[in-house]
A and B are shown apart, each in its own frame.
Chain A
Amino acid sequence: MSVLVDKNSRVIVQGFTGKEGTFHATQMIEYGTNVVGGVTPGKGGEQHLAKPVFNSVSDARKATDCNVSIIFVPPAFAADAIMEAADAGVELVVCITEGIPVQDMVSVKEYLKGRSTRLIGPNCPGVITPDGAKVGIMPGFVFKPGRIGIVSKSGTLTYEAADQVAKAGLGVSTAIGIGGDPIIGTTTKEAVELFMNDPETDAIIMIGEIGGGLEAEAARWIKANGNKKPVVGFIAGQTAPAGRRMGHAGAIIGGAEDTAAAKMAIMRECGLHVVDSPAGIGETMKTVLGK
């Protein structure tokens, strides 16, 4: 009942023994995620949180057959960590790190072309399949299991949406935080496509923000593919001024096309159910599903 991660995911943590890595790996293990080990160069052979530590992702892959990696390494080393995971053949790489230089991500994006690795993020809360696996930093209890897919650029706004979904008596199949940076691995459209093809997902919540063209691209794809499942959309930053960066590196209005108003208009034209208020996401989903 999910996309990307579930109970069978075999997860390794890059930056395992650091402060962030340790804290969130502990939380993930408590949630029930199948964490099979971690990578910290130079600490191979040690045990951490009762799991094996490896010197490289390649060693970890050989020993554990891990298929998912979550990255908590500092921004200066994160691009390298992503490419290392891809080189080792890990299928899904979730990069939590915030603050990676854009030109580093230009190289990463190019490196990933033609490889089988899917990148989520960076600068994202991760991916969660309720009661299956939490590969991220989100509060697990907010996400109740169900049949709504969530794709979002923002962390806390994802939690907000999941909470409203639960209050509306619904639940989440998988929530994907794609991240708020100018260059990210998995786009809004690609995440939506995963949900459209997932038999366990009935409807989709798509949360975007100012800057870039990802939401418009996703909306046009949804329309071109026959609006197979209802999509409720929200764009944060309707009141944001042009030219100022709103927290996320990618949240900046560069032209007339990437304002919240422009994106919402395109989403409406493409048949999405657009909400003006972030307080109305759950209720709108309930109405759309006729429940």
Chain B
Amino acid sequence: MNLHEYQAKELMKKNGASIQEGIVATTPAEAVAAAEQMKTLYNSDWVVVKSQIHAGGRGKGKIAGTEQNGVALAKNHDKVREIATNLLGGTLVTIQTGPAGRVVNKVLIAQDVYYPGESDPKELYISILLDRGTGRNVFIYSTEGGMDIEEVAAHTPEKVHKEYVDPKVGLQDFQCRKMAFNLGLNGNAFKEMTKFIKAVYKTYINSDASMIEINPCLKTSDNKIIAVDGKISLDDNALYRHPDLLALRDLNEEDPTEVEASNAELNYVKLDGNVGCMVNGAGLAMATMDIIKLSGGEPANFLDVGGTANAERVEKAFRIILKDPHVKAILVNIFGGIVRCDRVAQGIVDAYKSIGNIPVPIIVRLQGTNAVEAKKLIDESGLKVLSAIQLKEAAEQVKVALA
């Protein structure tokens, strides 16, 4: 589960980090009111209006059909109203959203933090995530903030540092100092940074995050360290112990069909292809998507029906796949082990009858316990369903269906 920028920053603030402050607004009027409140708090008319969507590249991204960037500076409150009007309800297209973009439902009216002062502001990069190879949490940080870290790593790998956390003792003070030194800081900024890193680590551990990225993390002209942006991904497996964080889930940011599928306990991911698929098991589901591609199609989805492929689940899965108008055929691939294939076949026949006329060809491959009985059941059902036992046969049938 991903958090919005404003949620991520609030969470870090609760854990002791300084942030670029801001107020969330859902209408242009609220945006202006927020800007007025920001003026009383921080004594400046200048605010940054930031689209809140679950995708990066907002600053360079544009609202579809306009020249309005997803993040913009407003120097007066009329400008706040104008930008908020342009953003709210618009579709923001960024390098990460793909051409379809995301609808902007909220904007953050945030402090202007690049004010002049005793020193130049400096953008830094800090993240923490799990290193799968070592099974340890690792900070990745760089003096080159405000840029795509993968670009930095590709061109100037010496500017990307790593600091592993020993699970036995957690993050140590010397590690925080090392990171702050490597970030080129001294004096008050150095002290602030060691505190900031501790707060980020605390946020990461306390919220069972799988990733926190602060880009940019800003050293201000008056030598404070603040999170200007914040991205937090939470470990879905750990949400059961964080009901407060689960409440931050924004269903507007998720594909409605995927939400419907997850409510039915189906693991579904929408893709852009023309052949739908329904499979038991995540690995076999990915392999089935690959078979579709090798047969000349493109997978329209990933769908794992799980261990109990009964009629009800199969019907729900069919209905979800059929919501996608691009689907030209459906491949059902079930390896029945503990679950018997003839039961699954009966489930498919029942689901088919219940839905009525399914407008696209269905190929059903059932292998495992009672596979032969299952094939017979499908073949004798009188329905427009092709059956197969071997995976190769199923692949051939997909080819024929697409021809």
Beta-carbon contacts of B263-302 to A below 8 Å, as 1s and 0s? 0000101010100000111111111111111100011001
Is A212 an interface residue when CB atoms closer than 8 A count as contact? yes
Min Cβ gap A165→B in Å is 13
Within 8 A of A (CB), among B172-200: none
- Bound CA span A258–B101, Å: 26
The distance from the CB of A189 to the nearest CB of chain B, in whole angstroms, is 11
Residues from chain A with a CB closer than 8 A to the CB of B273 are: 239
The verdict on A207 contacting B238 (CB below 8 Å), with A109-B135, A160-B367, A250-B132 known, is no
Q: Min CB distance, A174 to chain B, in Å?
A: 17
Query: Which residues of chain A come closer than 8 Å to B20, judged between CB atoms?
Result: none
Q: With A101-B238, A141-B369, A279-B390 as known contacts, state yes or no: A239 contacts B130, CB within 8 Å.
A: no
Contact (Cβ within 8 A) A152 B283:
yes
Q: How far is the CA of A4 from the CA of B236 in the complex (A)?
A: 32
Q: Which of A227-286 contact B (CB under 8 A)?
A: 234, 236-241, 244-251, 255, 260, 276-280
Q: At the interface, yes or no: A44 with Cβ under 8 Å from chain B? A: no
Residues of B with C-beta under 8 A to A139: 336-338, 368-369
**Residue on A nearest B209 in the bound complex, by CB:** A103
Q: Which residue of B lies closest to A255 (CB)?
A: B150
- Give every chain A residue within 8 A of B137 (Cβ-Cβ): 106
Give the chain A neighbours of B205 by CB distance below 8 A: 103
- Produce 1/0 per residue, A85-111, CB < 8 A to B: 000000000000001111111110110
A157/B287 contact (C-beta < 8 A), A27-B338, A75-B237, A101-B237 known: yes
Contact of B167 among A76, A107, A138, A142 (CB under 8 A): A107
Q: How far is the CB of B377 from chain A (nearest CB, A)?
A: 19
The answer to whether B86 has its CB under 8 Å from any CB of chain A is no
A209 interface residue, CB < 8 Å from B?
yes
B293 pairs with A76, CB closer than 8 A? no
Chain A residues within 8 Å of chain B by Cβ, number: 63
Residues of B within 8 A of A209 (CB): 282-283, 286
Complex partner residue of A279 from B132, B283, B291, B335, CB under 8 angstroms: B291
Which residue of A has the minimal Cβ distance to B269? A244
A152 to B304, CA, bound (A): 18
Decide yes or no whether A183 CB sits under 8 A from chain B.
Answer: yes
Q: In whole Å, how far is A25's beta carbon from the nearest beta carbon of chain B?
A: 13
At the interface, yes or no: A155 with Cβ under 8 Å from chain B?
Answer: yes
Q: Does A116 contact B (CB under 8 A)?
A: no
B130-156 interface code vs A (CB 8 A; 1 in, 0 out): 101101110000000000001000000
Give the docked Cα–Cα distance between A164 and B210 (Å). 37
Interface pair A240/B302, CB less than 8 Å apart: yes
**A156 touching B280 in the complex, CB below 8 Å, given contacts A246-B302, A278-B290:** yes
* Cross-interface CB contact of B299 among A207, A239, A250, A260, cutoff 8 Å: A239
Contact B291 A155 (CB under 8 A): no
CA distance A209 to B137 in the complex (A): 22
B392 at the interface (CB under 8 A from A): yes
| B163 lies within 8 A of chain A by Cβ | no
A215 within 8 A of B: no
Q: Bound state CA distance, A212 and B133, in angstroms?
A: 7
Contact (A157, B302) CB under 8 Å given A27-B338, A249-B237, A278-B291: no
- For the complex with contacts A155-B283, A238-B289, A249-B237, 20 further pairs of A-B residues with Cβ separation under 8 Å are A75-B240, A103-B235, A106-B130, A109-B135, A155-B281, A156-B280, A159-B337, A160-B391, A180-B283, A182-B130, A207-B283, A213-B133, A239-B290, A239-B292, A239-B299, A246-B269, A246-B285, A247-B282, A247-B286, A249-B236
A-B contact pairs, 27 of them (CB 8 A): A75-B237, A76-B241, A101-B237, A101-B241, A104-B238, A105-B135, A106-B136, A107-B167, A110-B167, A137-B338, A160-B284, A163-B368, A182-B132, A183-B130, A207-B283, A209-B286, A210-B286, A213-B132, A238-B290, A239-B292, A239-B299, A247-B267, A247-B283, A248-B283, A276-B290, A278-B284, A279-B395
